[in-house]
């Protein structure tokens, strides 16, 4: 029962799975982006251009959100590797265990996260 003795192994596995899932979602969005079609500028009517632009913007927004999630996951995996997982990267205090259960990729405690959100930087 190595898993019960080392909960970080379970968290690492969970984060690695989540990382793969997010990477797949990003790849799928890139393939679905209408701007990736090579001859789109040659064959499009203005109305089609507008629809493609809207689709591209939506995909870019989703990709941006997923990229931020991917960065958080990679940071959490790195913190596991260096023995700092579960510590707030801002204040150094322990991140609430309940928070880590819900957000295993959290790198900030609830207090620091709330402060940053209040300042508009999170």
Report the C-alpha gap between 44 and 24 in whole angstroms: 29
Contact by Cβ (8 Å): 112, 96: no
Over 90: is that where the pLDDT of 49 sits?
Answer: no
Report the C-alpha gap between 41 and 33 in whole angstroms: 14
38 band by pLDDT with thresholds 50, 70 and 90: low
Of 31, 25, 21, nearest in space to 56 by CA: 31
pLDDT of res. 44: 57
The tokens 């790849």 sit on which residue? 27
pLDDT of res. 1: 33
pTM as predicted: 0.77
pLDDT of res. 74: 96
Contact by Cβ (8 Å): 73, 14: no
Secondary structure class of 106 (helix, strand, coil)? coil
pLDDT digits (tens, 9 = 90+) for 63-99: 999 999 999 999 999 999 999 999 999 999 999 999 9
Greater pLDDT, 120 or 14: 14
User: Which tokens belong to 52?
Assistant: 């493609």
């Amino acid at each position: 029962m190595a898993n019960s003795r080392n909960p970080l192994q379970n968290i690492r596995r969970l984060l690695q799975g989540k990382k793969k899932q997010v990477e797949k979602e990003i790849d799928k969005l890139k393939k679905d982006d209408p701007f990736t079609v090579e001859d789109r500028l040659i064959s499009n009517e203005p109305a089609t251009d507008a629809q493609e632009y809207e689709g591209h913007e939506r995909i870019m927004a989703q990709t941006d959100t997923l990229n931020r999630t991917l960065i958080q996951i990679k940071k959490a995996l790195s913190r596991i590797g260096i023995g700092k997982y579960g510590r707030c990267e801002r204040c150094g205090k322990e991140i609430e265990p309940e928070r880590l259960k819900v957000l295993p990729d959290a790198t900030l405690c609830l207090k620091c996260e709330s402060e940053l959100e209040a300042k508009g930087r999170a």
